[in-house]
Structure 1
Amino acid sequence: MADRKDGRPAAPTETTIASADWDSRDLSGEQHERVLFVDVDMTEAAGVGAVFTDCTFRGVRFNASTHTDAAFLNCTFVRCGFFDATFAGCKLVGSMFDGCTYDLMKVQGGDWSFTGLPGADLRRASFTDVRMREVDLTGARCAGATIRGVDLSGGWLHKADLSGCDLRGSEISSIDPLTVELRHTIIDPYQAIVLATSLGLDVRDSPA
């Protein structure tokens, strides 16, 4: 399993829910703490305000599910599927992802700070207006992804592939152009100055 960048292990769990059919389940208001979910089908599940704390999800199918103002705090996701899943205004602070799939996953708003996505294939995912401070995207494959208006302050992006990625409006001061693939990456004029400065260039206005 991929490790959290601070070396902390996954939180221990106390109860287990295995092979349950939660297809189309209304998760609104549910609260789960220190639960191990194994091979649970959450396809098309939806809800507002659900809270999962220190939970581990193994082989859980979140396909086409919709989560609004939910919280997955310090959770661990192993080999889970997020095809066409939507997270709107959700908190996933401190959560860790390992070996998951993210095709067409949409994240809109919310706080994903300190989240671990090392090596994740996010090429067909989108993140907009999300707080992702100190996120671990080491070696992540984000070519062609949408990462707009995202706060990546202090993020780990070493060897990440951001080629063709739309980064407009995102905070990218933690990106090292020498260790991150940026070919055809879409950025705005301000971000161009940030990257030029990180390369040691002296950016000035043209003389009058």
Structure 2
Amino acid sequence: MADRKYGEPAPPTSERISGADWYGQELLRKEYSNTLFVDIDLTEVQSSGCVFNECTFRRARFNASIHKDSAFVNCTFVSCNFFDSKFLECKLLGSMFDDCQFHHMQVIGGDWGFVGLPGADLSRASLLGIRLREADLTGARCQGGTIRDTDLSGAWLHSADFSECDLRGSDLSSLEPENVQLKGAIITIDQTIIVAQALGFEVRVD
């Protein structure tokens, strides 16, 4: 399993739900704490106002699910599939993802600060207007993906691949151009100044 930032262990679980079929269910304001979910089917689930606190999901299927104003705080996701899922204004503060699939996942708004996504394949994911402050994106594969209007301040970006990634409007203050792949990345004029300064250029207006 990939390590959390600073080597912190995953929260322990005290309950277990295994093999549950929640296909297409509507979850309203449900709350779970320190629960281990194994091989659970969340396909086409719609959650609203739910709270999962320090839970672990192993081989869970989130395919085509929609989550609105829900929270997955300090959770752990191992070998989960998020194909075509949507997270709208959700909180995933401090959660960790290991060996998960994110093809066509859409995230719009919400707080994903301190999230662990080391080595994640986000090349077909779309992240719009979210907080990824101090997130671990070490070695993340974001080529061709979309990470727009996102707060990446303090994020770990070493060895991440942002080739041809749409980064317009995102905070690139933590970017070290010599340690990431940026060929073909899409940025704004204002962002080019930040990148140039990070490369050591002295930017002048005339």
1:175-194 → structure 2 map (5 Å cutoff): 175-194=175-194
Partner SS for 1:89: strand
Q: What's 1:83 paired with?
A: 83
For 1:79, give the aligned amino acid.
S
- Is the aligned partner of 1:165 residue 2:180? no
TM-score by length of 1: 0.98
1:1-208 → structure 2 map (5 Å cutoff): 1-206=1-206
> CA deviation digits over 1:51-74, x for unaligned, max 9?
000000000000000000000000
For 1:117, give the aligned amino acid.
L
Fraction of identical pairs, as percent: 57
Q: Using the alignment, how far apart are the partners of 1:24 and 1:31 within structure 2?
A: 18
What's the CA shift for 1:6?
A: 1.9
For 1:59, give the aligned amino acid.
R
Q: Using the alignment, how far apart are the partners of 2:8 and 2:120 within structure 1?
A: 19
What's the CA shift for 1:98?
A: 0.1
Which 4+ runs in 1 deviate beyond 3 A? Answer: none
> CA deviation digits over 1:80-127, x for unaligned, max 9?
000000000000000000000000000000000000000000000000
Q: Using the alignment, how far apart are the partners of 2:185 and 2:154 within structure 1?
A: 20
Q: Using the alignment, how far apart are the partners of 1:134 and 1:27 within structure 2?
A: 30
For 2:193, give the aligned amino acid.
I
| Equivalences, count | 206
Q: Which runs of 5+ in 2 are unaligned?
A: none
Aligned CA-pair RMSD: 0.4
Q: Using the alignment, how far apart are the partners of 2:50 and 2:173 within structure 1?
A: 33
TM-score by length of 2: 0.99
Q: Using the alignment, how far apart are the partners of 1:9 and 1:63 within structure 2?
A: 27
- Worse-superposed segment, 21-30 or 147-156: 21-30
Q: Using the alignment, how far apart are the partners of 1:132 and 1:122 within structure 2?
A: 14
For 2:59, give the aligned amino acid.
G
Q: Using the alignment, how far apart are the partners of 1:48 and 1:56 within structure 2?
A: 19
Greater fraction strand: 2
